[in-house]
Amino acid sequence: MEPGTDRDEGTEPTLDADFFIRWLDAAAAAVARDADRLTELDAAIGDADHGSNLNRGFAAVTRRLTEKPPNAPGAVLTGAGRTLISSVGGASGPLYGTLLRRAGKELGDAPRVSRVQLAEALRSGVGAVAELGGAGGGDKTMLDALQPAVEGLTRSFGAAATAAEEGALATVPLRARRGRAAYLGDRSIGHQDPGAASSALLIGALADTATRAADDDGHRGNGADRV
Amino acid sequence: MTTGIGGTVPIVSETDLGRAGTPGIVLVSHSREVAESVARLAGALAGGAGDVRVVPAGGDPAGGVGTDAELIAAAARRADSGAGVAILVDLGSAVLTVRALVAEGGDDGDEGLPPGARMLDAPFLEGAVAAVVAAAGGADLEGVAGAAEEARDYRKR
């Protein structure tokens, strides 16, 4: 067994629209909490706006989901993706927007999905991000957290979160090959990529939401409606 | 000639709104000033843009440096007179934002890019000049795109 894969071994939570809304709310809260850290990371090798840009985008996502809650997981993700593209104002908007939109389209209009289906949908989303940015693994980008996270998610939510965190930390010694940081060449070495760091927050929020949802389902009987 | 709605500066009048057949041109920069200045420069170097709608879309909504997808999509809809829209971009998030908007296709209905909008693979300033000259000379979208993308291959030394 690999370490860190057992954060949520036990009941699988119900992945319905409500779960996805809670995931993105948790992601928005995590981004708001860590916005200063993300911006500091970006100040080292980017243009010092990642935290504030992403915070604005996820706050807009939360507003949209509250005003018009979609009734299927796919619709939650496509709507959130569209909102990020239109509200972030930096490269992370189209990148995260594409991730969520593509994943949402893969999920279609199914009212519930499985963890493995979510992993496969996110795999498509990550592929679309790689295509959009012309980047691959090892380029010191968000892909270095997201690609291992998708593999982890095929095993468990906890494995996804651990893999994303490890992937983000593993960007520190890398030399940036995409984005503004690439202009810095070797001076980008020694800094964590801000996009990988925020990706780890997004996946961490997913795992936390799953843990809470599994607990709730356990207390109430599987599939019980949220109060 | 004057500052239009949404901070854009049409360098030609938009009086003949019904006229189809001239591709529109959108200039997307991180900076509002850069987008507007390049639009003016391209119009001047083209000897007047004639019927061509050249719409700058630069900066973030607060007037700072950045990229705003809604501003870009609105500019493209204003530039559209039914013959397609050529979008020139400067760098980084401008490229990614327009790529993402193009990838969305018509999914967003009235909020996205108009049908027939495409991003050109061209240097921002040189491509803008070539595109406006070509469009003012009667080129269709294909011709405008070809002229702008040829600017990539022009060697300066």
**Are B143 and B134 contacting, i.e. CB atoms less than 8 angstroms apart?**
yes
pLDDT in tens, B104-149: 876 655 678 999 899 999 999 999 999 999 999 999 999 999 999 9
Say whether B96 and A91 touch across the interface (CB within 8 A). yes
pLDDT tens for chain A, 227 residues: list them.
445 444 545 578 999 999 999 999 999 999 999 999 999 999 999 889 899 999 999 999 999 999 999 999 999 999 999 999 989 988 899 999 999 999 999 999 999 999 999 999 999 999 999 999 999 999 999 999 999 999 999 999 999 999 999 999 999 999 999 888 888 889 999 999 999 999 999 999 999 999 999 888 777 655 444 44
Asked if A97 is an interface residue toward chain B (Cβ–Cβ < 8 A), one would say yes
- Contact criterion met (CB < 8 Å) for B100 and A91: no
> Which chain A residues have a beta carbon less than 8 Å from that of B96?
91, 94-95, 132-133
How far is residue B86 from each of residues B56, B76, B134, measured CA to CA in Å?
A: 12, 8, 11
Q: How far is the C-alpha of A46 from the C-alpha of A166, rounded, in Å?
A: 21
CA A180 from centre of chain: 21
More confident residue, B9 or A40: A40
Q: Copy the structure tokens of residue A63.
A: 């507003």
Closest partner residue to B69 among A93, A132, A180, by Cβ? A93
Q: Which CATH number fits domain A15-213: 1.10.3720.10, 1.10.10.10, 3.40.50.880, 1.25.40.340?
A: 1.25.40.340
Q: Say what the pLDDT of residue B7 is.
A: 42
Smallest Cα distance from B30 to chain A, Å? 9
pLDDT in tens, B45-92: 888 767 899 999 999 888 889 999 999 999 999 999 999 999 999 998
- Predicted confidence at residue A224, as pLDDT, reads 47
Domain boundaries, chain A: 15-213
B121 vs B10: CA distance, rounded Å? 23
Tokens of A11: 């009941």
Of A86, A132, A180, the CB nearest to B92: A180
Share of chain B above pLDDT 90, in %: 66
Domain ranges for chain B:
5-11+20-152
Look up residue B114 and give its two tokens: 């108009």
**B93 inside 8 A of chain A by CB:** yes
Nearest Cα neighbor of A90 from B95, B129, B154, B46 is B95
What angle (nearest 5°) sits at the alpha carbon of residue A105, between those of residues A62 and B89?
75
Fold of the domain spanning B5-11+20-152: Rossmann fold (3.40.50)
Interface test with B, best of A85, A131, A180 (most B CBs within 10 A): A85
Give the DSSP per-residue string, B7-58.
G---SS----TT--SS-EEEEEESSHHHHHHHHHHHHHHTTS-TT--EEEEE
